[in-house]
Structure formats: C-alpha cells, structure tokens
Amino acid sequence: MEVLRISFLTLIALTSGTGNANVSSYWQFDSNTDGITIHTHEQKNGLVEIRAQMFTPTSYSAFLTLLEDSNNVPNWIDNASHSRVLSQISNTENIVYTQFTAPWPASDRDMVTYSKYWVNDLGFTIEIKDAPETTLAEQSGYIRIHSVSASWTLQKFTNGTTFIEYKAFANPGGLMPDWLMNKLSKQSARATFNNLRTQLPKYQQYSHPQIIE
C-alpha cells in the first residue's frame, strides 16, 4: 500500500470564526439525502463553503488509514485522479499534491496543501490549508486551486456509530461562473461522503501507530 499521509479532499473549507449564537444563521440548509446532510454558507466572493455531515460506524484508525491509502484516493474522493506526498514534516503533518479531473467544460485542477491531525477528548480532527506557494510550481494542463481551508472532524458515540463532519472551502480559479462551481461543490461533497461510507468498512481491521482509541 502506497501511503498518503493525509491527502486533501475536494474543494474545501473551515468556517470562519463565528460564535455559537450565530451558528444556526451562518449555515443554510441545502439537503438531507440517504443520511448525508449538506449545509452551505455564501462567502463575499460568491462562492460557498460546504458542510457535510453523517453518522456511520468507524474507528479513527480506519478513517485515517483510508486517508493515507493513496492508491484508493480516486475511489472515494470525488474527481480526484492522483495524489502524492511531497514532504512529511512530522508524523502528523504533511505537504500533499492532489490532481482533480474536472467535468466538462471545466479545466482540470490541482492543489498543494499542508495538513495536520490530532486526537483529543473531543475526537479526531484534521485541518488542511494551502501550502506555501513556493512548494511546487504550477503544472502544465492544470489550474491551481487556492485559498484552501478545510477540516474533518470525527466523534465516536457509545452506540457504535461515529459522527463525521467535513467543512470545506476553496477558490478553484479559472473562469467558471460561481453558480456552477457552487453546484459542483455540493455534488462533490455528497458523492465523496457516499463513497466514504462504502470504503470505510474495508479498513476497520486496521490500527494506526499514531492513534490511541
């Protein structure tokens, strides 16, 4: 198994610093289908942040092992065609390069991201953001995604299920209209979660050296 030390995900983003009193108004409900709930928040530039949520049985180790399996990335991260680690900063920090095949009429995209994960009393968290611009030159045939800011959060419950939340925003660049990019972002988040739910059972037998559960 070729190891990918935390790949990035589709176009993604953290919520900005909103207080608890503003959470309900910050996110706008989009859909709830097959146990996957999507909310959005429109940014000033017209693009939307995405929040996807679901419950599914998984350990933290299984989830992390799936993320690190670079050969399997195209099978669950929507539109991802290739991903590789450019540098491992520490056991929990990495610089990753990911390519995406964009649906017609869009051009293919790529991105270079920094990621870090940890486990505490609240659960398992991964945060992802842009790597420094000097990390890797822009590649021929790809438009570079930028302003990447994302998180995965997992919290296990005593009934054997795990709550998974993914918050995501990125600027995909190029000339595609905002309404189309927003539509594709929501579709991509839902497809990724459907694929994630299918793939996770294959990884439940794995432990991870950095995870104590």
Can you give the CATH number for the domain in which 129 is found?
A: 3.30.530.20
> Number of folded domains in the chain?
1
Residue position matching structure tokens 């520490």: 90
> Contact at 8 Å (CB) between 50 and 169?
yes
Within a domain: 29: no
Select from 8, 44, 41 the least CA-distant residue to 26: 41
Within a domain: 12: no
Within a domain: 20: no
Whole-number pLDDT of residue 7:
38
Angle at 9 between CA 115 and CA 25, to 5 degrees: 95
Q: What is the mean pLDDT of each run of 10 residues along the chain (213 residues)?
A: 39 35 76 96 91 98 95 95 95 96 85 97 96 96 96 95 97 87 92 98 96 89
Within a domain: 207: no
Residue position matching structure tokens 């953290």: 14
Phi, psi for 70 (deg, rounded to 5):
-65, -30
Q: Is 54 left (phi over 0), alpha (psi -120 to 50) or beta?
A: beta
**Domain that includes residue 191, residue range:** 36-202
Within a domain: 169: yes
Within a domain: 164: yes
Say if residue 105 is preceded by a cis peptide, omega within 30 of 0.
Answer: yes
Select from 30, 175, 2, 37 the least CA-distant residue to 102: 175
Question: E-strand spans in the chain?
Answer: 28-33, 36-42, 48-56, 80-90, 93-100, 109-120, 123-130, 143-144, 146-156, 162-171
Within a domain: 11: no
> Contact at 8 Å (CB) between 55 and 193?
no
Within a domain: 4: no
